[in-house]
Amino acid sequence: MADQTQEIMETAQKLGDLVSKHPATDKYRQAQKAVSEDAEASRLLADFDRQLESLARQEQTGMPVTDAQRQQLESLQSRISSHIKVKNLSLAQVDFMDLLRKISATWQRPLAETSPTAGAGRGAPGARLA
């Protein structure tokens, strides 16, 4: 069992190395860097996070979010979504997450096929297949 565990860990390391070199990963890293180096994009995202946290705290205390607050958040969200570097980051993140989803579905497939409930259309407990 220890040999098998070691083999799984070595294979996982190889997979991690491959994923880290994949173009989707590189594109995502570059987009993250571009946003972090852009003062306006960083400020917009930080402002959005602050507003979301503030509104969440407000709702937790039982105070409803006002229409003006909602409009202010929507306005900020609109400015963020129209920022080219943030757009690029969002697109790169979708590609990267899609890669991770495909990888996860691929390694989970054999588990679902050998599961006693596989014939019932269910995979391993907690597993979600694409």
Residue 48 CA: distances (Å) to CA of 32, 53, 74: 17, 9, 10
d(CA 84, CA 41): 9
Please, what is the average pLDDT of the chain?
90
φ, ψ of residue 61 in degrees (nearest 5)? -85, 0
Per residue in 25-69, pLDDT (tens digit) is: 999 999 999 999 999 999 999 999 999 999 999 999 999 999 999
How does pLDDT run across 57-77, given as a tens digit for each residue? 999 999 999 999 999 999 999
Number of H helices, E strands in the chain: 5, 0
Least confident of 3-12, 59-68, 69-78, 118-127: 118-127
pLDDT of residue 130: 47
pTM of the model: 0.72
pLDDT at 2: 85
Sequence ranges of the domains in the chain: 22-104
